[in-house]
Amino acid sequence: MRGLLTLTRMALRELWISFRLIPLVGVPVLGGMLVSAIPPEFAGETAVGGASFWYGVAAAVGICAASGLAALTMALERRRGTAAWMAVRAVPRSTVLVSWFLAFALLVCLGLALGSVGAWLAAIGRAESSPDALPFAAAVAATAGTALVAVAAGLLIGTTLPTLPATIVAIAVTAPLVVAAVLAPLSAFPLPTGGLALLTHLDSAVRPVAGALQSAGTALAAAAVLLVLAGAGLERSDL
C-alpha cells in the first residue's frame, strides 16, 4: 500500500511538471466559470438545468482530454523505459498502472468538483427561488464516474499503441460517446456514460439521484474491468 501511494505521488508530480495537470483540472474549472457567460435564452427549462447542460458540455471536453492524456502517458511510460525500470526493481506492472489511474482520478475529480461550484453559482444567480442542490451534485458525481471510465480506457489503449496513435485512438473512441451523451435523449442513452447524459439532461430526469447512483455504480464497474484488461495488456507488452 505504501508503495502504491509513493508511486501515485510520483505520478502526480510528473503530471505537474509536464503541464498535463493543466487540462485535467483547468478544462472543467474554466467551463464552470464560463457557464455564467452563457445568455439565459440559451439555457434549459430551469436555471439549474441550463447551467448543468453547459457544464456538461465542458465536462465532455475534459473527459476526452483526460482519455487522450491517459493513453499518451501510459505509452510514454513504455517508450521511455520507466515502466521497465520499475519492473526490473520488482515493482509490479499492475501497481504502476493503478498509480497512474489514481493520479488521473484525483485530478479529474478535483477539476469536476471545482468547476461544478462555478456552474452552481451561475445557476442560483439566475434562479427565482433557492434550487435543490442534490440532483446537480449527484449528476456531477456520476459524470466523474464517466470520466474514470474514459481514463481507464485511455490507459488500456496506451498499453498497446505508441504515443501518438494511442492519443488519437483514445480521443476517437471517447469523443463519439460523449457527444452522444450530450445530444441523445436521456432515456435512450446507455450506461455507464449515462452520468454525463444525466448532467446535460437534468431537466428531463425523473429520478436524478437514483439515476446518478446507478450510472456511477455501472461506471465504476466498467472502469474496473478496463483496468483489469489494461493490466493484462501491460503484462504482455514490451517495455
Per-residue pLDDT, averaged over 42-68, amounts to 87
pLDDT at 70 over 80: yes
What letters, b where the CB count within 10 A reaches 16 and e where it falls short, cover 160-199? Answer: bbebeebbebbbebbbebbeebbeeebeebebbbbbbbbb
Q: pTM of the predicted model, to two decimals?
A: 0.92
Q: Which residue has the cell 493513453?
A: 71
pLDDT of residue 88: 58
How many helices (DSSP H) and strands (DSSP E) are in the chain?
A: 9, 0
Per-residue pLDDT, averaged over 42-49, amounts to 72
Q: Directed axis angle between helix 47-80 and helix 134-158, to 10°?
A: 20
Query: Could you please report the per-residue DSSP string of 191-210?
Result: SSTHHHHHHHTGGG-SSHHH
pLDDT of residue 64: 96
Per-residue pLDDT, averaged over 85-90, amounts to 58
- Total tally of structural domains belonging to the chain: 1
pLDDT grade, residue 77 (50/70/90)? Answer: confident
Higher local confidence (pLDDT), 95 or 150:
150
pLDDT one-digit tens code per residue, 124-180: 877 777 788 899 999 999 999 999 999 999 999 999 999 999 999 999 999 999 998
pLDDT of residue 189: 57
Q: E strands within 73-125?
A: none
Domain range enclosing 143: 2-236
How many other C-beta atoms lie within 10 A of the C-beta of residue 206? 8
